[in-house]
Each structure stands twice: as structure tokens, then as C-alpha cells.
Amino acid sequence: MKPDFRTKSSVADIRARFDNDVARFANLDTGQQSTIDAPLSLELITEAAKAVNPAATTLLDLGCGAGNYTLKMLQKIPNLHCTLVDLSQPMLDKAKERTAAATTGTVTAIQADMRELELPDEQFDVILAGATLHHLRDDADWERMFNKIYRMLRPGGSFWISDLVAQDSEEINSFIWSRYGEYLEGIGGAAYRQHVLDYIEKEDSPRSVNFQLGLMRQAGFRKVEVLHKNLCFAAFGGIK
């Protein structure tokens, strides 16, 4: 049975939640508490980008939040020209402020639903998507987004994802989410566990790593790589 995305949070709902949570998401420790291995995944995807594109000059950060991913990338490859995209203007303002202080390159901030983003083809050496693609909904959303990302990359460029993911098997998905619930309860108690699981159910619609790697191959990526996976979180990407 196909999921009913009508029960999920609207774009306006998601924007409002992030508008009111800038300070927390500007801190990697507090902003990513519910994300297993967040610092490790951030390190891995930026190191992978540096390994594939050491001479990169342009970066696109989709769903940039308060700018943590771009700042980490600038530690690896300094003075990139950065394009920041986020649904939340307060998040975007904070990301631009922090990024402008960390690079001599240009910083362009775009408030947009990533599904509606229109940028020139072959503009970026590196594209990062940290904890954002899980807000996409039906298959058409996902396919269009991956095709768009492929077009925006320069030949030889790379695209890296760190995100919440589902599993392909219902039985394994149930087992993994049970284990994730135990993790949440261990760091914040039963009420925290329920709070996080409730807003994931309301707001998010993650897809499996296999599904997303398949979309990369379909879009034309010549190589795909899985860097890390722990329960329902993963870091992976592709090279054009």
C-alpha cells in the first residue's frame, strides 16, 4: 500500500519548525543529538568530497541549516565559492553569517524549497545534502531531485548525502526502528524517544540507501559509494 503523504507536515509546517530552532542547529552536539554518528558522517562526507574533488572551487549545500556542513567542508578545502539553500530564512541568515566569516570566496544564499530550485547546469564541483532529502515525498519528487542534482554538478563532481534512511524490508525496517527507539531512550528517556519518533512520523519520509543509490545510477552517476551506515542513518554519495 502506498503511503498517504497528505498526513505529513506541509512545507509551511517544516519551515516554521526550523525558523524557531536556529540556535540548536548551529551547534553540532545539540542540533544533531538524535542523529546517530552525526559528527562521523559529517567528517566522512566532507573527506570524501575532498578526496574526489581536491581542486574544487564551488560548493552547493542543500538544506544547509545553520551551515555546519559547509563550515566543515571549508576546513577541508578553504575559500570555496558557496551556495547555500534552505527553506528557513533564519537558518539561512545564520548559515550565511557563519560561512562568510570562514571563506574569501563568494557566499550566495537562496531561500527555496529544494524541489523548486533552478540553478545552471554544471555549476558545482561538490553538492552536499545533510539531513534534508528525507523531506521529499513521492517517487516523482525523489527522481526529479536526483536528476536536478546530477545536472548541476560539473563532470567529475561529487554529491554526498548524510541522512535518515529507511530499509527495504518491512521486517528489517521494524527491527532497525525498534533499536533506534532504544538509542533515543538511552540518551533522553522515554518521553524524548516518543517526541522524536512522533515528529519523524509526522514530518519525514525517508527512503532506503538502495533506493537512493539506484536513483543516482539512473540519473547517470558513474560511481556510487556507501561510506557509513548505523541503524537508520547513513552517509553515501556518487561521482558524476
Q: Tell me the per-residue pLDDT of 13-69, one tens digit each, with 9 for 90 and over.
A: 777 666 566 566 656 554 577 899 999 999 999 999 999 999 999 999 999 999 999
* pTM check: above 0.85: yes
pLDDT at 1: 45
Q: Could you read off the pLDDT of 89-107 as tens digits, one per residue?
A: 999 999 999 999 999 999 9
- How would you write the chain as a 3-class SS string? CCCCHHHCCCHHHHHHHHHCCHHHHCCHHHHCCCCCCHHHHHHHHHHHHHHHCCCCCEEEEECCCCCHHHHHHHHHCCCCEEEEEECCHHHHHHHHHHHHCCCCCCEEEEECCHHHCCCCCCCEEEEEEECCHHHCCCHHHHHHHHHHHHHHEEEEEEEEEEEECECCCHHHHHHHHHHHHHHHHHHHHHHHHHHHHHHHHHHCCCCEHHHHHHHHHHHCCCEEEEEEEECCEEEEEEEC
Looking up cell 542547529 gives 25
| pLDDT over 80 at 204, yes or no | yes
Q: At what angle do helices 89-100 and 68-76 cross, to 10 degrees?
A: 20
pLDDT at 5: 73
Average pLDDT, whole number, for the chain? Answer: 92
Summarize the confidence of residues 168-189 as an average pLDDT: 96
Ramachandran angles phi, psi of 50, nearest 5°: -65, -40
pLDDT at 9: 66
Share of the chain above pLDDT 90, in %: 85
Amino acid 88 reads: S
- The answer to whether residues 234 and 52 touch, using CB atoms and an 8 Å cutoff, is no
Give me the domain span that covers residue 36: 5-239
pLDDT at 34: 86
| pLDDT over 60 at 8, yes or no | yes
CATH code, domain carrying 234: 3.40.50.150
- The answer to whether residues 62 and 114 touch, using CB atoms and an 8 Å cutoff, is yes
| pLDDT over 80 at 4, yes or no | no
Q: Could you read off the pLDDT of 111-121 as tens digits, one per residue?
A: 999 999 999 99
Ramachandran angles phi, psi of 9, nearest 5°: -60, 145
pLDDT at 11: 76
Q: Could you read off the pLDDT of 9-21 as tens digits, one per residue?
A: 677 777 766 656 6
As beta bridge partners, residue 130 has: 162
What's the structural domain count of the chain? 1
pLDDT at 199: 86
DSSP H or E stretch at residue 26 = none
| pLDDT over 70 at 184, yes or no | yes
pLDDT at 88: 92
pLDDT at 7: 75
Angle at 194 between CA 191 and CA 198, to 5 degrees: 140
- The answer to whether residues 198 and 87 touch, using CB atoms and an 8 Å cutoff, is no
Question: How far, in Å, CA of 125 to CA of 224, rounded?
Answer: 16
